[in-house]
Chain A
């Protein structure tokens, strides 16, 4: 990395923060507060320590905009001067925390040997200390000066930066560019200093704004307790004086509190704006918007010419026409991922939905299930299930369909089981909910289902947690769960992609036999034409959100119509001798 690009990286976020309204407002307030405190000697209307007993507790006036305290001292002047103490306190604490936390975090994260263990132990110890008590101990030995107290607080706050730095470094330590720097012969010191530090800088700066705020609050708390320099005006000291006369002049309590609150809030808001700009995202998790239910639209007649499937629609169990799914983008445009898709599946039929990654297969089936990720917008000219119109169905109505009528087998077995609950709970809950079974009945049925999907010791499986079982077992459990409420249609989204090759064929034949014995309709999403050849009755080929061809499986392999289908077949079948081995052949990899 050249110094030039390093500098570029540093400058850009600051400019971006200034385009963020939150950043501008909080930043301006901070600049104003710093300015007012630093230049207090020139702008404060009175000597902050001038005691005029005849003006004791006088109300706000032209001469004293915020009034005077019990000793007749001008409150505005004292608050202006008091900012100096708070800013100094914050600077000392932040500097200490950075000097202690960041280097130790860098070393612990980069080398992670014995130093990591020792540093972690210290960090845990410091975090379990009640800070005010420790400060009281320190004050009893070293006195209540600003430096010893704020340095101590900085050390107590350093675990925050230590942990942040350490985890960031651990995250990038094995990145390729660090490896490249190592191979290039750069010393560890240079790597840490130039490459790793630049990654850590953003998150650390964000945290610093919060630690600065904390410093101001704790320091004023200590002043409030009487640990401070009484001859110097400070915000906490003002609060303490105001508190002593709060029966007579309650309004005096307000100002120092507001000044502290405003400063800390501006720091926190500026930190948040900075985090948003840098994409640090520690304080503000981005939320996905809720997806809208499928909206029925009446398509223009000329777009709905006669289709090959129209004849079959009468017997179709699940049928969708003109399904379009899109996502509004942040720049106001609209990205369509599924475009005018029409599909039908009948009882006992297996429909293959084939296409490469990103062709919109998964989006299509999630739309059918009403489980699209948030933010998606969906329209369809018709969406029926067993004669019921489910286009525009509410979440509640879809709930009644899901599990019991349409079920879903996911692609990635391990991430689709809740890690905190036993397999038993996850299997029986839906049955008790949808079929109204008692716990005992549901457990008995779960044991039968697990036996059916080929699990040797069902009772033990029910008591297991997901992290205790293998991926193949997990996929069998998910299949058992999908058929547990006796659905009519099963939607399987690449059910074998994440599994070992040896397990793939077993899981596939399990799906096939379950489909046949229960006479379910099945939509099998796959990018594997071998799978299609093995078990699908009909095939729809998808590309870039559009179905380019749809026909019987036999016909598709014999006489593909669309050039894309031909290309797919050509890529996978050429030179392959036996049909059985095709199960493992993939068209493309994602």
Chain B
């Protein structure tokens, strides 16, 4: 088990390394100019040239990359070229917003997805048909549009939730919950659909396995068989789907944050992109990819806990 976790972690970290490496060279070699981005359109060529030297952009790209990497490993992601703030400070203040949304969305999706998927698999006929249509709608409606509609209905018209703004969990847990409820719901709808669909299909497949019949022949109640044996055997594909949905939520949060005026990491990245702020972009990328690696590792561990074959090999 420990060697399995170590292996998964190594693979994850290698993935993260190749992503940030690839993106660093991509940014540097395809025309991003942090000096111009920092000074704006009206700066003179001389000013830009001075700034380039000041930012060390005149050095070979490989040297800049190795510099960035060794600093990053020591926990220093540099200074934003556009805003003159420490990149880590900037990200750490914004990260909780995005992570709250993405984790919240995945938790909601996992819970509701399992319930909906199980019900659809076990209750054929109109119920299943209805859920299939709901699943199709969840897949087809853009989540940011759903977010606007939800904001319109429940925040603007009914006033149940704040329409904009994020409350830190340490300031007021209840207001934190209210501030992320609508964003989390809109972010999770597609994921609920994806997980429910996946689970429905794998539950139906599992139900027709020989061992399910044998368990029934032993007189075990249907509830035990479904909730324990069938669910456990049907969940690995749904878990894989869950990890994909977390990545999608980290990504989709950037748009949902815009709808609800939340200052998350998406807004940071969009700003940085406009200013060609390479240090900030790289910082955001590194943090996001590392979070994805951590969540994937957690899901891998869960996967191993469910599937004994994975644990042993």
Interface residues of A (CB under 8 A from B): 124-125, 127-134, 136-142, 213, 217, 220-221, 224-226, 239, 243, 246-247, 250, 253, 256-257, 260-262, 264-265, 268-269, 283, 285, 287-290, 369, 371, 373-374, 395, 399-404, 407-408, 410, 412, 415-422, 426, 429-430, 433-434, 465, 467-468, 478, 481-482, 484-485
Interchain CA distance A262-B219 in the complex, whole Å: 48
Q: B281 at interface (Cβ–Cβ under 8 A)?
A: yes
Q: What's the least CB distance linking B195 to chain A, in Å?
A: 14
- Contact between B254 and A136, CB atoms less than 8 A apart: yes
- Contact between A285 and B152, CB atoms less than 8 A apart: no
- Contact between B142 and A261, CB atoms less than 8 A apart: yes
- Contact between B269 and A369, CB atoms less than 8 A apart: no
Q: A133-B288, A140-B27 are in contact. Are A371 and B137 (CB under 8 A)?
A: no
Interchain CA distance A199-B276 in the complex, whole Å: 46
- Contact between B149 and A253, CB atoms less than 8 A apart: yes
- Contact between B251 and A285, CB atoms less than 8 A apart: no
Interchain CA distance A419-B215 in the complex, whole Å: 12
Interchain CA distance A19-B205 in the complex, whole Å: 28
**Which of A287, A371, A407, A484 is packed against the most chain B CB atoms within 10 Å?**
A287
- Contact between B30 and A132, CB atoms less than 8 A apart: no
- Contact between A137 and B285, CB atoms less than 8 A apart: yes
- Contact between A260 and B142, CB atoms less than 8 A apart: yes
Q: B171 at interface (Cβ–Cβ under 8 A)?
A: no
Q: Please indicate the chain A residues that have their CB under 8 angstroms from the CB of B258 in the complex.
A: 224-225
- Contact between A137 and B281, CB atoms less than 8 A apart: yes
Q: Please indicate the chain B residues that have their CB under 8 angstroms from the CB of A250 in the complex.
A: 152, 156
Interchain CA distance A465-B307 in the complex, whole Å: 10
Q: A127-B247, A420-B233 are in contact. Are A429 and B224 (CB under 8 A)?
A: yes
- When each residue 237-252 of chain B gets 1 if its CB lies under 8 Å from chain A and 0 otherwise, what string results? 0000000100110111
- Contact between B124 and A287, CB atoms less than 8 A apart: yes
Give A247's nearest chain B residue, CB to CB: B156
Q: B64 at interface (Cβ–Cβ under 8 A)?
A: no
Q: A401-B219, A420-B233 are in contact. Are A129 and B145 (CB under 8 A)?
A: no
Q: Please indicate the chain B residues that have their CB under 8 angstroms from the CB of A373 in the complex.
A: 208
Q: What's the least CB distance linking B221 to chain A, in Å?
A: 6
**Which of B213, B247, B285 is packed against the most chain A CB atoms within 10 Å?**
B213
B15-23, B44-52, B71-79, B88-96 - the one binding chain A: B15-23
Interchain CA distance A128-B251 in the complex, whole Å: 11
Name A403's contact: one of B26, B148, B219, B285 (CB within 8 Å): B219
Q: Please indicate the chain B residues that have their CB under 8 angstroms from the CB of A478 in the complex.
A: 214
Q: What's the least CB distance linking A280 to chain B, in Å?
A: 13
Q: Please indicate the chain B residues that have their CB under 8 angstroms from the CB of A403 in the complex.
A: 217-220
Q: A128-B296, A130-B247, A253-B152 are in contact. Are A268 and B140 (CB under 8 A)?
A: yes
Q: Please indicate the chain A residues that have their CB under 8 angstroms from the CB of B289 in the complex.
A: 128-129
Q: B266 at interface (Cβ–Cβ under 8 A)?
A: yes
